[in-house]
Structure 1
Amino acid sequence: SQWSRDPIYRSAKGEGYRSRAAYKLLEINSKFEIFRPTDTVVDLGAAPGSWLQVVRSLTEGTIVGVDLNPIPPLEGVVTITGDFTNPLVQSEIRKIVDLVSVVICDASPKISGKKCYDQARTIDLNEQALAFAKSILKQGGNFVVKTFQGELFNDFLKEVREHFYSVRVYHAQATRKGSTETYIIAKNYIHKRDEASTD
């Protein structure tokens, strides 16, 4: 199959990761130092759980994974099956964690093959992830989100930059060749209440 011929996929399986996406997060963390040893983390769109596996190896804090699809159990991780854009699901997350240090999102909508439509839906999902991150991140927290290059990308990037001191765009080496997939790495969240108090 196409997957069995993919050396990164084979390597991920050999090391016990649930998908090749694990290497993307390892690469991102190695370059940008997203996680600290006691960070509390929420992973949006977490199934099958490879990013959760990476996070568990990097922090001893509380970790919550959310996805529409059930996430196979992972020791030391709380999983929720549901739509992270749903207020009821968000309320369930907040029963487990109040404020968090890091929000990560590797989610993407089902691809239709119509480029403009797919990108619009991706950016909408990104916006929802950003809105959730803003509602739950601590001052100085970090946010990592997968997106795709396209006509709506720059507007979303500009919006992220309004809320974090440091924002970088990164194309992971573990991404398949030819893909427009990219990651926005946003560090040091500016809590609006804190910002207002300094005026």
Structure 2
Amino acid sequence: MASKPPGSSGRALTTRVKTAKGRSTASQAWLQRQLNDPYVKAAVAQGYRSRAAFKLVELDDRFKLIKPGARVVDLGAAPGGWVQVALARGASRIVGIDLLPMDPIVGATLIEGDFQEDAPLAAVMAALDGPADLVLSDMAPNTTGHNATDHLRIMALAELALEFCHRVLSPGGGFVAKLFQGGTERAMLEGMKRDFVSVRHAKPPASRKDSSELYVVATGFRAAMRG
């Protein structure tokens, strides 16, 4: 499966959406954006389940996160685009978990449930069959439109993902989590420097320019810091 981010050649053609009765202005704008998004088109062409797959492609190209034979956990995995990328890049054992159901992906274990609850967590640990080399989290809350509230909600999810790392991550392992810019992410980044050798943040090109999202990328987990 190809995993290069989309490029452009020639003059881009814009698809206009005809106004439909009962469709809101916001819905109309979203549909037009989807139809004209090169990452959406590339995801369809390359067989990825979502345009978000290219965010992990670009992060991995930059930070070399996915090692051949790695054990990878993907938190908030639905619909499975990041799982597909991890498979394509050589991970040998991949476990994805989400509250939403997912269609199977050959070569991966997909679990429907909350990783904070005992039974789903046990299922993740059993499927991993050993410590994880990389924990991924593209989790995001349903947005309210209130920036401060949305920021705090996604920070809470990122903190939960970080706690999960302390339970499953192997020495030297890596962690990637989505955040929204808003100020408090700085405190999290500073705290993570005690747990990881390297902590950086990045906004991959596939992230929409008008989005406040960024990703924290941490490598070199210090296992001795586990609580």
1:32 paired to 2:32: no
Q: CA RMSD in A?
A: 1.3
| Equivalent residue for 1:135, pick from 167, 171, 187 | 167
Instruction: Report the identity percentage.
Output: 37
Give the gaps of 5 or more residues in structure 2: 1-30
| Equivalent residue for 2:123, pick from 92, 97, 100 | 92
How far is 1:60 from its partner? 4.1
Which residue number corresponds to residue 145 of structure 2? Answer: 113
SS at 2:142 equivalent: coil
Q: TM-score, length-normalised on structure 1?
A: 0.94
The one-letter code of the counterpart of 2:179 is T
Q: Distance in 2 between matches of 1:16 and 1:109?
A: 26
Which residue number corresponds to residue 39 of structure 2? Answer: 8
Which residue number corresponds to residue 164 of structure 1? Answer: 196
Q: Deviations over 1:74-116 (max 9, x none)?
A: 0000000011222332122112223111100011011111111
**Structure-to-structure mapping, 1:158-197, within 5 angstroms:** 158-192=190-224
1:59 paired to 2:101: no
- Number of corresponding residues: 194
User: Is the contact made by 2:71 and 2:132 (CA closer than 8 Å) also made in structure 1?
Assistant: yes
Give the gaps of 5 or more residues in structure 1: 195-199
1:19 paired to 2:89: no
SS at 1:3 equivalent: helix
Q: TM-score, length-normalised on structure 2?
A: 0.82
Q: Distance in 1 between matches of 2:192 and 2:43?
A: 31
